[in-house]
Structure 1
Amino acid sequence: MRTQQTNARNAQQSKKKKRYAAIAVAGVIGLATAGGAYSYWTSLGDGTGTATTRAGNAKPFSVTGGAANAMFPGDTPQTVTATVKNIGSENYTVQALKAWVSTDKTGCDGTDFLIDGAAAPASAATPVSITLTQTDLAPNATTTASFTMQFNNKATTDQSACKGAAVTIHYLAS
C-alpha cells in the first residue's frame, strides 16, 4: 500500500506543480503583456533644418503707356492706359502706381500738363497717385490703370516753350 500511497501523493503533487506552473506562466505572460504596453522610453528631441529664399528683383515692374495725341492749349483730356508688367522671375504684388511729367524743353515742365484734372508733378519727389487695383502678378503678367492727361492751359502764362516738346510720363510702381 505504501507504493500506492506514494504514487497517489506524487500524482497530487505533480498536479499541484503543474497548476502552480500554469499560474506562474500565465502571470509572467500577463505581466509581460502589461509591461510591454508600457515598456518604452519617453523623451524629447530637437534639431534644425534649412531653407533659402530668392534674392528677388529690386525693380520687378516695367510700366508703359502714353498719350496717343499731341497736346495743346485748350485741348480735351485724353485717356492714358498704363500697363504694369512683372519682369521678375517670381510673383510680385503691385500695390501702387504713381506718375510725374518732364519735357525736353527749358521753361516747359510737368506743371504745364494735367493728370486727372490736376497739375502734374514735375519731379519724382512729388509723384501723383494713379488709381490701381492691388494685384498679385505672376512672371510676365500685366495689369492696367487708366487716367486722363491734357495740356494745362495757364491763361496768364506764355507757354510757347512747350511748342514741339517731347513729353515724358515717368511711372513709379511699387
Structure 2
Amino acid sequence: MKKFTAHKKRVAITTAALVAIGGGAAFAYWTSTGSGTGSATTGTTVPFTVTSTTATGGPLTPGGPSQVVEFEVTNPSTGVQRLQNVIVTVADEDGILWTDAGGCSYKDYFVSDAVFTAGDVAPNGGKVTGTVTIKMNNLATNQDACKGLAVPLHFSAS
C-alpha cells in the first residue's frame, strides 16, 4: 500500500509541477494589419463573324421581285457578346458603297432592315441567324448597266 501511496504522491507532485509551469507560461503574439494589390486580365472584344447564303427569289429587275438572303452571325469569343444590330448595305467587302465600272451602283437597290433576334450570343461559336431582303429600285434613269451583275452585300454586326 505504501508503494501505491508513494506512486500517487509522485503523480500529484508531477501534475502540480506541470500545472505550475504551464500556468506560469506566458503566451505572446503580435497584431498586425496589411494590404496589397493584384490584378486580373480582362479580354477584349472579338469581332463577330458573318456569313450569308445565296439569295433566293426571282432575278432582280427595276421594280420587280425581291430576293431574300439568309445570314448567320457567329461569336468566336470565349465570352458572351451582345448582338444589337446587323446592317446590310450594297457595298464592297471593305464597306465602301458599291459602284460598278459600268455605272450600276448601290443607288439602284434597296436593302431592308435585317430581321434577327438581338441579344446575348453564346461564346465559342454561338450563332444567331437572320434574313434581309434586297430589291431593285425603279429609277427614272436607264438601269441597263445593272443587267446580269452580282450585287455585293456588306454585313456589319455590332
TM-score normalised per structure 1: 0.59
Q: Give the counterpart of 1:98 among 84, 87, 103.
A: 87
2:71 alignment partner in structure 1: 82
2:3 alignment partner in structure 1: none
Unaligned runs of 5+ in 1: 1-24, 117-128
Q: Give the counterpart of 2:55 among 67, 72, 77.
A: 67
- The answer (yes or no) to whether the contact 1:112–1:152 under 8 Å persists in 2 is yes
1:110 alignment partner in structure 2: 106
Cα 1:100/1:134, change in 2 over 3 Å: same
Structure with more of its chain in helix, by fraction: 1
Deviation at 1:49? 2.2
Q: Give the counterpart of 1:164 among 134, 148, 158.
A: 148
CA distance in 1, matches of 2:150, 2:101: 8
Unaligned runs of 5+ in 2: 1-18, 91-97
Deviation at 1:73? 2.1
- Count of matched residue positions in the alignment of Structure 1 and Structure 2: 130
Deviation at 1:62? 2.6
Deviations 1:117-146 (A, max 9, x none): xxxxxxxxxxxx534412323222210122
Q: Give the counterpart of 1:135 among 120, 130, 138.
A: 120
TM-score normalised per structure 2: 0.64
CA RMSD for the aligned pairs?
3.1
- The answer (yes or no) to whether the contact 2:52–2:69 under 8 Å persists in 1 is no
1:49 alignment partner in structure 2: 38
Deviation at 1:75? 1.9
Deviations 1:54-78 (A, max 9, x none): 3553x33233244224311232233
Deviations 1:146-172 (A, max 9, x none): 232211122x21110101111011011
- Identity of paired residues, percent? 34
